[in-house]
Amino acid sequence: MNWSWVFKMAWRDSRSNRRKLFLYMAAIIVGVAAQVAITSFRVNLNSSINDQAKELLGADLEVERNSEFQPELVAYLDSISFDQSKMLAFTSMASFPKSGTTRLSQISAMDGGFPYYGVIETEPSIASETYLKEYGALVDQTILTQLELVPGDSVKIGFITYEISGAIIDVPGQSTASSFFGPRVIIPLVGVENTGLLERGSRLEHKMYVKYLEGIDPKVVEERLDAMNDVTDFRFDDVEERREEVGEAISQLSNFLNLIGFIALLLGGIGIASSIFVYIRQKINTVALLRCVGASSDQTMFIYLIQATAMGFVGAFIGALLGTLVQLYLPVLVQDFIPVDIELFISWGSVFTGLATGVVISLIFALFPLIAVRKISPLFTLRSAEINLSKLLSIPTRIILFGIIGIAITGYAWFMLNDLKAAIFFTIGFAFCLLLLAGFSVLVMKASRKFVPTGWSYEWRQGLANLYRPNNQTTTLLLTFGLGVTLISSLYLTQDMLLGTINFSGEDDLPNLALFDIQYDQNEGVNSIIEENGLEIMQNVPIVTMRLQSVKNIPLEEILADTSRNARRWALNREYRSTYRDSLIDTETLESGKYISSVENLNNHVPVSVSTDLMEDLDVALGDTIVWDVQGIPIPSYIASTRTVNWQTPQPNFFVVFPTGVLEPAPQFFATTVRTTSREASVSIQQQIVQAYPNVSAIDVGQIISTIREFLDKITFIIQFIGLFSIITGLIVLAGSAATSRFQRIREAVLLRTLGAKQNQVVKIQIIEYVLLGVMAALIGLTLSVGASALLGYFYFDIEFIPNFVILGTEVVILVLLVLIIGLLNTRGIHTKPPLEILRAEGL
Amino acid sequence: MSNILQVNNLTREFKSGSKLLTVVNNINFGIEEGTSCAIVGPSGSGKTTLLGLCAGLDRPNSGEVILRGVNLNPLSEDDRASVRNKHVGFVFQTFQLVPTLTAIENVMVPLELRGEGTKEVRIRAKELLEEVGLGDRTHHYPTQLSGGEQQRVAIARAFINEPKILFADEPTGNLDTETGEYIEKLIFDLNEKQQTTLVLVTHDLELADKCDRIIKIKNGYVDADILKTKTEVIS
């Protein structure tokens, strides 16, 4: 083949088309930018994690247990380390006297030493050292800012008032997000017992941070601790494990984002395919002529293949540049969730991968029209004919091309996810969505052809007819825009669905304030404060803590030592907080057996009711026996009934419920739920109760909802940010497709105006067409997203999905406006000028 | 003298819905090298289809086309393209210039396709453009040229590979009388100069009359085949 001529011809032929070609390129730019940004960021992040691995934990080893460490564990830790740091972690109300606010907080009492790697970043920085000596407290910066507090103000934890030494900015191994569900407060371990919180029902976590002596092999420590852990119940984490956990979490997040970004790239691919189709259609005469004067089918195909490759390369190159810039912004988005400082650098590997992906995607999607070039007959020089390029391809060729695209998509998804099955599912899901959208566009075109009412005005009939006439934009728009809308809208709706399930603050019959850890002797006092405030107590539930002693007559130690057991470790080891009552409550449904309300004879096994999820995790069946260790006293029981529990309500719910007549004499505390009338009433009563009973914790449902909303907002913003790339690509593809049809639109508009159409008639036809397109794309996209959200709700979140019509309505309006604006921009300037001037300017 | 083009039992059918239309029906003729032949007939008579078949742009349903002794039937599309590149020139009613190429680049295409040196090709193209009176418009794009000028570029392109046979499809159909006459002259002059065989499809009986032979086509058949003597043409 005469390659030099092919290249020369590709170059010459592109000269007057470069503006058009740029639009085609633009479709790939955004997708490549998303890919490069995300993969580079992932590389940056992984390298930061590796560099700062030890700072992820702040020590070589972290051991934690819900009670005091066993002597053998302490002895072992002593043998491997000299530097040890103890911590007690618990949740409690923190009261800020200056602002008169109380907040359920995560308290850590530390004894110094920690962290051995990295530092606790505080403001002022000296505070991380002085708080121990001065018996001060470090408090999360976010809450200080929120309550307008400064170092020097005070915080009251239990009975002790600490001076705030400084604001916590960063603690090794913790992300800012860890303070979402309660601000972090660090106080000295020495004297923590004086808070009065340690004995009063609070759930304490004992932690030990250890720095290994030199020469200690972490693997040996891990093996030894694993062996000890078979019989005792403690958890531990070392640097390697933490790095794997964090790395795993990050790779899952970035895989997910990568896939969303990849969709933008694929949409760009579809945009390229459709643009090249239009481009080649305009080149049919040139191709036919070249064939006529002796060019071979390969030569003509390569002319356009070279152009497509060059275009893909330039697009990918600009995309890679843009992606590198976007990468700089990504840390701002995710820094709250990442426990390391992200060091930014250009990841050349990611840039090259992005470049290659961009070129390959543009090429494989362009193959359809390009291979059709081979089939363009030289006869078209003699007879100009409206030909359908895709029909020039035989069915086997089309199957092969689809196969190539499928393999390429799966291959790339596999490369990103490292999971072939997931990659295949991704491709199938993507193809399914495209098929649905393409099917819908065929329906729209058929319907608009068939059902144009003859009585309609000319403008309406023309506008509608534009949906199916040659060079229509229906399929391209519905595919690209529809998919983008599906993606973004699914995110919105899912977020709304999740928030909806916890948004019970507006429901009158549900409590909106829950008080926990009320001691036996405090119960009456708390109740009377509530009543004095004129509020209604909805529940006042006694809670008794207990542990398992044996299950099905097998002692707990034996079950734990059995490696073939089905019961889950957490279920065997946990401290159970159970209640007793004579009936089920609204959030419970009897599943099997009979709920026995009370017992009189304590010599028999006690009939208890167990939640269905715990039945599975404990691997027990109805009638099985369980012996409970209720604070030293064994209480034999049998499972008399099972219940399903709706855990998503603010009432206290329980795994195990006892009948009345058994636990009453046991040491117990209470949980009380209240319905407050206003936010102020809720804040005021929390203050009064915490002032009188500092150990009582209050969960303010309104507070939790706003916290969760904030958390979800941040997460969904990241996803939407990446998802936005798909919408932008959709818009670019739309703009590209509109621009490529500008030629035909202008010819039509000019013809209509020559024949006497008024300017507003021509504009009206176009408005009708684009509004119809916008409505169709929005409707199909939104319908798919409602379907996707409903499926997510049903299979994944187990929530009944009710679409939010306000969100959907708003989306329809925005999308239709976007499509309309782009459509009208495309024909700008042709309505005000005389027809002849336009014909000359456009070179028609 | 031998036939440069031989058409034997040529038939071309098209499907139109469920109907089968026979556009070219069992046509036979031969054209001697160096002569000129006009194919005339009313619209829809099949003359352009016949031209397409003769030039190897289309395949017949039956019969054969032998161009310079080569049967086009068994050749692949690419082999036929190669035959056209070596021996055939084209002039079309709608000029068929590549809109993205300048006048000179359009003219250069057939030789460049052969891989000939750009410099020589450019010189030759420029000479031809000068010959057709467009020496000062070499770098203009087709949209910057009038219809007559575009057709002159197309003629220069048709002759650059010194074709043995030139197919012209209504070369003056889109032009006014004066320009049309100029183009006719150009074609005949260059034809004579290069000793090219000319096959011309036209409605224009005056133009047809200038050829050595006229084949009249009607409803896909040869209605008349009038062979004229050189003297008659001149007279």
Query: CA of B59 to nearest chain A CA: how many angstroms apart?
Result: 10
Nearest CA to CA, how far is A270 from chain B (Å)?
A: 26
User: CA of A385 to nearest chain B CA: how many angstroms apart?
Assistant: 13
Instruction: Tell whether B174 is within 8 A of chain A (Cβ).
Output: no
Bridging pattern class, strands A160-170 and A137-140: parallel
Identify the band that residue A316 occupies on the pLDDT scale cut at 50, 70 and 90. Answer: very high
pLDDT at B233: 42
CA distances from A150 to A16, A348, A606, B91 (A): 66, 45, 55, 89
Enumerate the domain spans of chain A: 11-53+252-427, 61-215, 452-505+705-844, 536-675
Query: Is B100 within 8 Å of A294 when comparing Cβ atoms?
Result: no
Question: Residue A487: which pLDDT band, with cuts at 50, 70 and 90?
Answer: confident
pLDDT at B234: 36
- Best of A280, A293, A303, A743 to substitute, by most chain B Cβ atoms within 10 angstroms, is A293
d(CA A280, nearest CA chain B) in Å? 13
Q: How many A-B residue pairs are in contact by the CB < 8 A criterion?
A: 91
Residues 51-90 of A with CB under 8 A from B: none
With cut-offs at 50, 70 and 90, classify the pLDDT of residue A830.
low
User: A299: nearest CA in chain B?
Assistant: B113
- Indicate the residue of B90, B101, B114 with minimum beta-carbon distance to A292: B90
Residue B100 β-bridge partners: none
Whether residue B159 lies within 8 A of chain A, CB to CB, comes out as no
Condensed to tens digits (0 to 9), the pLDDT of residues A631-663 reads 888 999 999 999 999 877 767 889 999 999 989
The domain of B15 spans: 3-234
Helices (H) and strands (E) in chain B, counts: 8, 10
**Do you find a cis peptide bond into A124, omega within 30 degrees of 0?**
yes
The reply to whether A381 touches chain B by the CB within 8 Å rule is: yes
- How many domains is chain B built from? 1
Mean pLDDT of A42-60: 83
Please indicate whether residue A348 or residue A687 has the higher confidence score (pLDDT). Answer: A348
| CA dist., res. B39 & res. B24, Å (int) | 13
CA–CA separation, A341 vs A343, rounded Å?
6
Contacts of B52 in chain A (CB under 8 A): 379, 382-383
What secondary structure, in 3-state letters, does B74-108 show?
A: CCCHHHHHHHHHHHEEEECCCCCCCCCCCHHHHHH
Q: Which of residues 714-743 of A touch B (CB under 8 A)?
A: none
Q: What is the pTM of this model?
A: 0.71
Is residue B8 within 8 angstroms of chain A, CB to CB? Answer: no
- ipTM here: 0.82
3-state secondary structure of A602: coil
- Per the model's pLDDT, the better-predicted residue between A801 and A117 turns out to be A117
Are the beta carbons of B112 and A8 separated by less than 8 Å?
yes
Asked if A226 and A191 touch (Cβ cutoff 8 Å), the reply is no
pLDDT band at A561 (very low <50, low <70, confident <90, very high): confident
Confidence of residue A821 (pLDDT cuts 50, 70, 90): confident
Which H or E element spans position B165? strand B165-169
Chain B, 86 to 125: residues with Cβ < 8 Å from chain A are 86, 90, 92, 94, 96-101, 105, 109-110, 112-115
Question: H/E element holding A706?
Answer: helix A701-740
Mean pLDDT rounded to a whole number for chain A = 83
Chain A residues near residue B99 by CB distance under 8 angstroms: 16, 286
Please count the CA atoms within 13 angstroms of the CA of A360 that sit on its side-chain side.
15
Contacts of A382 in chain B (CB under 8 A): 48, 51-52, 57, 92, 169
B46 at A interface, C-beta within 8 A = no
Q: How far is CA A343 from CA A48, A52, A257, A714, A823, in A?
A: 6, 10, 20, 21, 43
Residue A17 with chain B: CB contacts under 8 Å: 100
Query: Which A positions 246-285 lie with beta carbon below 8 A of chain B?
Result: 285
Could you tell me what percent of chain A has a pLDDT over 70? 92
Cβ-Cβ contacts under 8 Å for A21 (sequence gap 6 or more)? A14, A279, A307, A311
Q: What is the pLDDT of residue A386?
A: 64
**Inter-chain contact A843–B113, Cβ cutoff 8 Å?**
no
Best of A292, A299, A307, A375 to disrupt the B interface (most B CBs within 10 Å) is A292
Q: Tokens for B114?
A: 């052969």
Q: Are A650 and A512 in contact (CB under 8 A)?
A: yes
How many other CB atoms sit within 10 Å of the CB of residue A396?
A: 8
How far B230 CA sits from the closest chain A CA (Å)? 30
What the block records as the tokens of A215 is 């020469």
CA A672 → CA A115, A530, A540, A660, distances in Å?
Answer: 38, 10, 4, 18
Query: Apex CA A464: angle with CA A460 and CA A468, to 5°?
Result: 160
Name the residue in chain A with its Cα closest to that of B142.
A843
| CA–CA min distance A281, chain B (Å) | 14
The CA-atom distances, in angstroms, between A423 and each of A41, A406, A412, A498 are 21, 11, 8, 27
> Do the chains contact at B110 and A294, CB–CB below 8 Å?
yes
Q: Regarding predicted confidence, which is higher, A46 or A755?
A: A46
pLDDT of residue A132: 87
Report, as an integer, the average pLDDT of A387-407.
85
DSSP A378: G
Provide, as residue numbers in chain B, all residues whose Cβ is less than 8 Å from the Cβ of A384: 94
- What pLDDT, on a 0 to 100 scale, did the predictor assign at position A844? 46
Tokens of B96: 């068929």
pLDDT digits (tens, 9 = 90+) for A563-606: 888 888 888 888 898 999 998 988 899 999 999 999 887 778 99
B78–A contact, CB cutoff 8 A: yes
Percent of chain A's residues with pLDDT above 90: 15
CATH of the domain at B192: 3.40.50.300
Q: Could B57 and A4 be called an inter-chain contact, meaning their C-beta atoms sit closer than 8 Å? A: no
A contact test, residue of B24, B109, B121, B155 with most A CBs within 10 A: B109
Per-residue pLDDT reduced to its tens digit, A413-450: 888 778 888 889 888 988 888 888 889 888 888 888 88
What pLDDT sits at residue B104?
92
- In chain B, whose CA is at the least distance from the CA of A15? B100
Residues whose CB is less than 8 angstroms from the CB of residue A752 and which lie 6 or more positions away in sequence, other chains included = A761, A762, A765
**Whether the bond into A115 is cis, omega within 30 of 0:** yes
For each of chain B's 235 residues, which pLDDT tens digit applies? 688 999 999 999 988 778 888 999 999 999 999 899 999 998 888 888 898 899 888 889 999 999 999 999 999 888 888 888 889 998 888 888 888 888 999 999 888 888 787 788 899 999 999 988 899 999 998 888 988 899 999 999 998 989 999 999 988 888 888 888 888 888 898 888 888 999 999 888 888 999 999 999 998 899 899 887 654 443 3
Q: According to the model, what pLDDT value does residue B67 have?
A: 92
- Residue B56 falls in which region: left (phi positive, over 0), alpha (psi -120 to 50) or beta: left
pLDDT 10s digits, A196-249: 888 755 678 889 998 888 888 888 888 888 888 766 678 888 888 888 877 777
